[in-house]
Amino acid sequence: MPNVNIRQLRNTRKLKAWLRAGKTVELRERDMVIARIVPKWVLPTEIARRWLASFRPPPWP
């Protein structure tokens, strides 16, 4: 998991690239983890449909 300190947070290009790649980033102050920045995860529509369909009961004959 990549980590960033407060000063490095100014480089938003690297942070955005990590988040777009789906990586969780740790925000640190010296040796202490202050926060974890978690990317928003969006399912592609076709995968989401299949996943939701797996929870529906089969149609009655």
Residue 16 lies in a domain: yes
In the sheet that 3-5 helps form, which strands lie side by side, from edge to edge? 3-5, 25-29, 32-37
Question: Which domain covers residue 30, as residue numbers?
Answer: 3-53
Q: Is residue 61 one of the residues assigned to a domain?
A: no
Residue at 22 is within a domain = yes
Q: Is 57 exposed, middle or buried (0-12, 13-18, 19+ CB in 10 A)?
A: exposed
- Tell me if 59 is assigned to some domain: no
Q: How many domains does the chain have?
A: 1
Q: Tell me 8's DSSP state.
A: G
* For range 12-35, the mean pLDDT: 88
Amino acid at 8: Q
Would you say residue 3 has pLDDT above 80? yes
Distance CA 29, CA 6 (A): 7
Q: What percentage of the chain carries pLDDT values higher than 70?
A: 87
pLDDT tens digits for 4-21? Answer: 888 888 888 888 888 888
Q: Which two tokens stand for residue 56?
A: 């529906």
Q: What is the mean pLDDT of residues 11-32?
A: 87
* pLDDT of 43 over the 70 cut: no
